[in-house]
């Protein structure tokens, strides 16, 4: 079993509650078959909880009850599977273009009996119009100038993008402002999520999208 510190366990319990056991099984999948198949580097195993699972799961606080969520470039299920475990009220579509990753994701979904998750093998731009989403999430996919075009169209004109980013988030927003506005982004903010809960809180870029509303000058 992957080691978890007391601080990490406390944070995990706060986020996952009575579904912590599912989160632990997911971490074991990451540490075993996930590393064997190249979805997670073996050096990441000691920090699966802190750097990956908790870092992702904490963004559930930015997602409204009962939302339909599309996770772009889901890879090893970060953050998609973390959200599905923490929030059974959400409906998740994991969008991933690589077959081997989709096979692994489906195996994990089946093993954990997550009935609120579907795995979709496609590129994000090809999924537009084929799914319904109120929220689009992403982590470590690409710079915001490109990511905006992969995520915002999936909302069908209205919704929220919640993208996990690093310290360069503000710079990325500045470079992507024109693209975001053109696509219908009306409000873009950098949030720090998990303060007081995680040793290293998560940085999130939140984009509110509403094509029907003209941004006032």
Q: Is residue 119 part of a domain?
A: yes
In this prediction, residues 118-129 reach a mean pLDDT of 96
Q: Is residue 25 part of a domain?
A: no
How many whole angstroms separate alpha carbon 167 and alpha carbon 190? 10
What number of other Cβ atoms are within 10 A of residue 29's Cβ? 21
Is residue 104's pLDDT more than 90?
Answer: yes
Q: Is the peptide bond before 29 cis (omega within 30 degrees of 0)?
A: no
Q: Is residue 204 part of a domain?
A: yes
**E strand or H helix at 192, and its extent?**
strand 185-193
Per-residue pLDDT tens over the stretch 170-181? 999 999 999 999
Is residue 217's pLDDT more than 70?
Answer: no
Question: According to the model, what pLDDT value does residue 140 have?
Answer: 80
Q: Is residue 18 part of a domain?
A: no
Counted domains in the chain? 1
What does the H/E/C string look like for 198-210?
A: CCCCEEEEEEEEE
- Dihedral sign for Cα atoms in the order 10, 16, 19, 24: negative
With pLDDT > 70 as the criterion, what percentage of the chain qualifies? 98
How many whole angstroms separate alpha carbon 182 and alpha carbon 217? 14
What number of other Cβ atoms are within 10 A of residue 105's Cβ? 27
Picking from 131, 145, 125, the residue whose alpha carbon sits closest to that of residue 185 is 145
Confidence class for position 142, pLDDT limits 50, 70, 90: confident
Containing domain of residue 183, as a range?
Answer: 57-210
Per-residue pLDDT tens over the stretch 28-43? 999 999 999 999 999 9
Question: According to the model, what pLDDT value does residue 118 have?
Answer: 98
Q: Is residue 16 part of a domain?
A: no
**Contact of 85 with 12, CB cutoff 8 Å:** no
**Residue 106: partners with Cβ closer than 8 Å, 6 or more residues away:** 119
Picking from 10, 11, 46, the residue whose alpha carbon sits closest to that of residue 30 is 46
CA 88 vs. chain centroid, Å, equals 15
For position 78, which CATH number holds?
Answer: 3.40.50.150
Is residue 213's pLDDT more than 80?
Answer: no
Instruction: Give the residue ranges of DSSP H helices in the chain.
Output: 6-16, 20-29, 35-36, 54-57, 80-86, 99-112, 124-127, 144-151, 169-182
Q: Is residue 163 part of a domain?
A: yes
In this prediction, residues 73-102 reach a mean pLDDT of 97
Per-residue pLDDT tens over the stretch 47-79? 999 999 999 999 999 999 999 999 999 999 999
Q: 202 is written with which tokens?
A: 């998560």
Is residue 216's pLDDT more than 50?
Answer: no
Question: According to the model, what pLDDT value does residue 214 have?
Answer: 52
How many whole angstroms separate alpha carbon 47 and alpha carbon 67? 29
Is residue 139's pLDDT more than 70?
Answer: yes
Q: Are strands 117-121 and 185-193 parallel, antiparallel or unpaired?
A: unpaired
Q: Is residue 39 part of a domain?
A: no
**The pTM is what?**
0.94
Per-residue pLDDT tens over the stretch 148-191? 999 999 999 999 999 999 888 999 999 999 999 999 999 999 99
Beta-bridge partners for 71:
94, 137
What integer best gives the mean pLDDT of the chain? 95
Q: Is residue 134 part of a domain?
A: yes
**Residue 35: partners with Cβ closer than 8 Å, 6 or more residues away:** 41, 42, 44, 45
Is residue 109's pLDDT more than 90?
Answer: yes
């Amino acid at each position: 079993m992957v080691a978890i510190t007391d601080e990490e366990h406390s944070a995990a319990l706060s986020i996952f509650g009575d579904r912590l056991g599912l989160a632990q099984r997911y971490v074991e999948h990451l540490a075993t078959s996930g590393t064997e198949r190249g979805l997670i580097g073996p050096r990441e195993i000691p920090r699966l909880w802190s750097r990956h699972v908790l870092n992702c799961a904490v963004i559930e606080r930015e997602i409204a009850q009962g939302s339909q969520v599309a996770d772009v470039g889901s890879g090893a299920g970060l953050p998609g599977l973390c959200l599905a475990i923490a929030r059974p009220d959400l409906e998740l579509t994991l969008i991933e273009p690589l077959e081997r990753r989709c096979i692994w994701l489906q195996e994990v979904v089946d093993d954990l009996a997550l009935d609120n998750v579907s795995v979709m093998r496609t590129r994000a731009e090809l999924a537009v119009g084929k799914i319904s989403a109120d929220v689009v999430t992403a982590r470590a996919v690409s710079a915001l100038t490109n990511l905006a075009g992969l995520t915002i169209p999936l909302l069908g004109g209205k919704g929220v993008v919640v993208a996990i980013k690093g310290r360069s988030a503000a710079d990325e927003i500045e470079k992507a402002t024109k693209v975001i506005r053109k696509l219908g982004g009306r409000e873009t903010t950098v949030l720090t999520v998990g303060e007081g809960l995680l040793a290293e809180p998560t940085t999130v870029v939140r984009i509110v999208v509403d094509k029907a509303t003209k941004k006032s000058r």
